[in-house]
């Protein structure tokens, strides 16, 4: 994520809206992810869940239905992966850990979006995000 501070505001004003410390979302869950050590399939599921749940909340109707079907298919594929390929029929704890991290990331995104809305209302800064649409609804 990239942001640029405009000439109107000082750095301390911006840092109250954006955490640039090690509590930043970039670092916050790194240790949990390293401990979980997800393989490619699990990481793909984790990222797909984040993207599809965001899309289904943002775009209702047909897109929401498509996202739900995709998540159902991905869930079934993940089940088959654990049972058939990894031969791990008792994977509930592992899946719960993956979903816990996803839940935390989703909550963090909501907090960032709230701060962004406040910053916009109070004209705190000029911001350019690499993916602004993820943090701001159209």
d(CA 36, CA 33): 5
For the whole prediction, is pTM greater than 0.75? no
Helices (H), 1-138: 11-17, 25-28, 30-36, 40-58, 62-80, 92-121
Q: What is the pLDDT of residue 128?
A: 66
3 in Cβ contact with 125 (< 8 Å): yes
Based on its alpha-carbon atoms, the radius of gyration of the chain, rounded to whole angstroms, reads: 18
113, pLDDT greater than 70: yes
Tens of pLDDT, residues 45-86: 999 999 999 899 888 899 999 999 999 999 999 999 999 999
Nearest to 42 by CA among 100, 98, 101: 98
134 by Cβ neighbours in 10 Å (0-12 / 13-18 / 19+) ranks as middle
Give the residue-averaged pLDDT of 115-136.
Answer: 70
129 in Cβ contact with 4 (< 8 Å): no
Q: What is the pLDDT of residue 72?
A: 97
Domain spans of the chain, in order of start: 11-134
Query: Average pLDDT over the chain, rounded to whole?
Result: 81
Which residue has better confidence, 122 or 24? 122
């Amino acid at each position: 994520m990239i942001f640029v501070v405009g000439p109107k505001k000082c750095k301390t004003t911006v840092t109250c809206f954006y955490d640039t410390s090690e509590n930043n979302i970039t670092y916050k869950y790194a240790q949990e992810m390293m401990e979980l050590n997800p393989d490619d399939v699990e990481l793909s599921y984790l990222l797909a869940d984040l993207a599809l749940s965001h899309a289904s909340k943002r775009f209702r109707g047909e897109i929401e239905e498509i996202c739900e079907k995709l998540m159902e298919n991905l869930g079934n594929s993940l089940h088959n992966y654990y049972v058939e390929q990894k031969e791990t029929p008792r994977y509930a704890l592992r899946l719960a850990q993956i979903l816990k991290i996803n839940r935390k990331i989703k909550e963090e995104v909501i907090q960032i979006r709230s701060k962004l809305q406040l910053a916009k209302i109070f004209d705190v800064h000029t911001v350019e995000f690499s993916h602004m649409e993820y943090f701001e609804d159209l």
